[in-house]
């Protein structure tokens, strides 16, 4: 029972390290997506294009630093000559950051890592993903809904992957008054990389 105070110190240290190391990052966009996407999957190519286009628009790119969609976005960012950041998490099946991260941090605690995504990003681009991707998506939506953070653009890339979720939220959650129309309006669903990046640029202009 005496280990809890030491755990608090470890948590505090992760926050301090993250805040210190990311404080000088310029305008950045977080790109999320499945670690299980192979490099020949269409979503991988979209991730590379998203990463490159964000850099060309003047953003740093932040991902979870893992394989799959995260690797794709980091690859696009690095090859475009931009800042390619990876915020890794200690997991048995993800032992290191991908090879396209130009600056990386590793975290033990998911909630500290998610705080860094929210604090240092001006928008989210969400590629096809699983539970972790949904967790990051709904965390941001909940914080914006409850006015804990300033609302920023959230783009779901991949109409075929995400349309069913949007339909369910609209037909069940909205219909049953569990959410409001403004909650759904946080999301933009598209397959168009240029549209996704344009939304991020427009939001940057509003918040200057």
Q: How confident is the model at residue 2 (pLDDT cuts 50, 70, 90)?
A: low
Q: Please check the confidence at residue 11 and state whether its pLDDT lies above 80.
A: yes
- Residue 172 is classified by DSSP as I
CA distance 29 to 73: 11
Mean of the per-residue pLDDT values of the chain? 93
Domain count, the chain: 1
Q: Please check the confidence at residue 91 and state whether its pLDDT lies above 80.
A: no
Could you tell me which residues are beta bridge partners of residue 91? 94
Q: What are phi and psi of 57, to 5 degrees?
A: -90, 0
Q: Please check the confidence at residue 151 and state whether its pLDDT lies above 50.
A: yes
Considering only residues 167 and 4, tell me which one the structure prediction assigns the higher pLDDT. Answer: 167
Q: Where are the alpha helices (DSSP H) in the chain?
A: 4-22, 42-56, 69-79, 110-119, 131-145, 159-168, 181-184, 193-206
- pLDDT on residue 3: 75
Q: How confident is the model at residue 78 (pLDDT cuts 50, 70, 90)?
A: very high
Q: Please check the confidence at residue 208 and state whether its pLDDT lies above 50.
A: no
* Total length of the chain: 208
Full DSSP string of 124-141: EEE-S--HHHHHHHHHHH
- pLDDT on residue 204: 82
* Mean pLDDT confidence for 191-199: 97
* Mean pLDDT confidence for 36-56: 97
Q: Please check the confidence at residue 205 and state whether its pLDDT lies above 70.
A: no
Between β-strands 154-157 and 60-63, what pairing exists: parallel, antiparallel or unpaired?
Answer: unpaired
What CATH number corresponds to the domain at position 62? 3.40.50.450
- pLDDT on residue 197: 97
> Which residue, 162, 150, 161, 160, is CA-closest to 187?
162
Distances 142 to 41, 85, 111, 145 between C-alpha atoms, Å: 30, 24, 14, 5
* Mean pLDDT confidence for 170-192: 96
Q: Which domain holds residue 40?
A: 4-206
Q: How confident is the model at residue 15 (pLDDT cuts 50, 70, 90)?
A: very high
Considering only residues 111 and 206, tell me which one the structure prediction assigns the higher pLDDT. Answer: 111
Q: Please check the confidence at residue 206 and state whether its pLDDT lies above 70.
A: no
The top-scoring range by mean pLDDT among 16-20, 51-55, 140-144 is 51-55
Q: How confident is the model at residue 95 (pLDDT cuts 50, 70, 90)?
A: low
Distances 170 to 175, 183, 184 between C-alpha atoms, Å: 6, 10, 8
* Mean pLDDT confidence for 30-50: 96
């Amino acid at each position: 029972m005496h280990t809890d105070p030491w755990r608090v110190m470890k948590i505090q240290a992760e926050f301090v390290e993250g805040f210190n190391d990311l404080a000088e990052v310029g305008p950045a966009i977080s790109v999320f997506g499945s670690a299980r996407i192979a490099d020949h999957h269409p979503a991988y190519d979209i991730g590379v294009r998203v990463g490159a286009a964000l850099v060309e628009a003047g953003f740093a790119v932040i991902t979870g630093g893992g394989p799959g969609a995260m690797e794709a976005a980091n690859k696009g960012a690095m090859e475009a000559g931009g800042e390619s950041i990876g915020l890794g998490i200690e997991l048995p099946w993800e032992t290191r950051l991908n090879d396209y991260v130009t600056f990386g941090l590793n975290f033990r605690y998911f909630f500290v890592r998610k705080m860094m995504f929210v604090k240092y990003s001006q928008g989210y681009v969400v590629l096809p993903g699983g539970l972790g991707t949904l967790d990051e998506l709904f965390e941001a939506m909940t914080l914006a809904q409850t006015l804990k953070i300033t609302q920023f653009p959230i783009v779901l890339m991949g109409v075929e992957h995400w349309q069913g979720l949007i339909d369910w939220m609209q037909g069940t959650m909205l219909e049953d008054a569990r959410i409001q129309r403004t909650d759904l309006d946080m999301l933009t669903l598209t397959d168009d990389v240029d549209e996704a990046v344009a939304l991020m640029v427009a939001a940057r202009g509003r918040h200057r």
